Amino acid sequence: MHQQHKYLVDGVVTEVNSMPNGYNSRGFLYADGFFETLRIIDGKIPLLDLHFGRITDSLAAYKLKSPDSLHLPELESSILKFAASVGLENHGRVRMTIYRSGNGKYLPQSNTASWLATIERPSTDKFELNEKGISIGIFEEFSKTVDKFSNFKNLHCQISIQASIFAQEKKFSDVLILNSNREIIESTYSNVFLVKDGALYTPKLSAGPVGGVMRAAVINLAIELGVKVYECNLHAQELLKADEVFLTNAVSGIQWVASYRTKRYFNNTANTLLKAFNSRI
């Protein structure tokens, strides 16, 4: 893992000894913000327009004003400059944490966004399909509330943390999270797709999943390739009827699922989609 000694603070590359005191930030004190995770591949940021669209929508939901450093040209330039400053200009995994600046208690004294980015070396230099399929279960201890923030990557993400702990305890690679209607909406860190008779099925956004950047890219790509896509309500029993299950996110790309309970899956569609996606980036 690359050892990082620099950060990107409001678009400015900052040495670790010049970092602002994060413990006084509203992001730390109130989880008043959201995050975005993206990849650098071959010196470029894939799907940057989709990432920027989700950042813009998240800012609006949180009633945050965008600083100049979060405008698209400035954002792209500062991230690539930051990556170059730590020797990761070709391949990197970047996490942006965006939060409300200023002081105040529950009532903030400012509505302007501040942000901080960290970077690390990814495990692969490109999106690769996992050789060994992963095993999944379902997390039922509690469900995700569906509201205006459900589709964003919010700092307050306790359900994903608890679901990840549950997955580790039960020796699953990942688990699926339910909403209050007991509908499957996502995994701990990815969107979920089922394949049945050559068509794709994925939870609709109104059910509460994160509006994933790779989710949108896969839907667009599938339609381009002539594959039918249904955004719908999904329940656990449909996992047993599916031919394939795969997970998507902007860091790993597509991961195929090998098993749920006694059910075993193929990966033909996942492999085809990922090859087509890589050819376009």
pLDDT at 4: 64
Q: Where in the chain is the domain with CATH 3.30.470.10?
A: 6-120
The rounded mean pLDDT for the chain is: 96
Give how far Cα 97 sits from Cα of 24, 68, 91, 133, 157, Å. Answer: 15, 16, 20, 31, 13
CA distance 198 to 272: 12
CA distance 87 to 119: 10
In sequence order, the β-bridge partners of residue 117 are 8, 96
Give domain 134-280's CATH number out of 3.20.10.10, 3.90.1150.10, 3.90.79.10, 3.90.700.10. 3.20.10.10
In sequence order, the β-bridge partners of residue 33 are 99
pLDDT at 33: 98
Is the per-residue pLDDT at 235 higher than 80? yes
Residues 6+ apart with CB under 8 A from 251: 37, 38, 39, 93, 122
pLDDT at 281: 85
- 223-234 core/surface letters (b: 16 or more CB in 10 A; e: else): eeeebebebebb
Pairing of strands 244-249, 253-260: antiparallel
**What stretch of H or E contains 248?**
strand 244-249
Q: Where in the chain is the domain with CATH 3.20.10.10?
A: 134-280
pLDDT in tens, 2-32: 556 899 999 999 999 899 888 889 999 999 9
Name the band, by pLDDT with cuts 50, 70 and 90, for residue 148: very high
pLDDT in tens, 195-224: 999 999 999 999 999 999 999 999 999 999
pLDDT at 22: 85
Burial class (CB in 10 A: 0-12, 13-18, 19+), 239: buried
Q: Which CATH architecture has domain 6-120?
A: 2-Layer Sandwich (3.30)
CB 31 within 8 A of CB 150: no
* Amino acid of residue 194: L
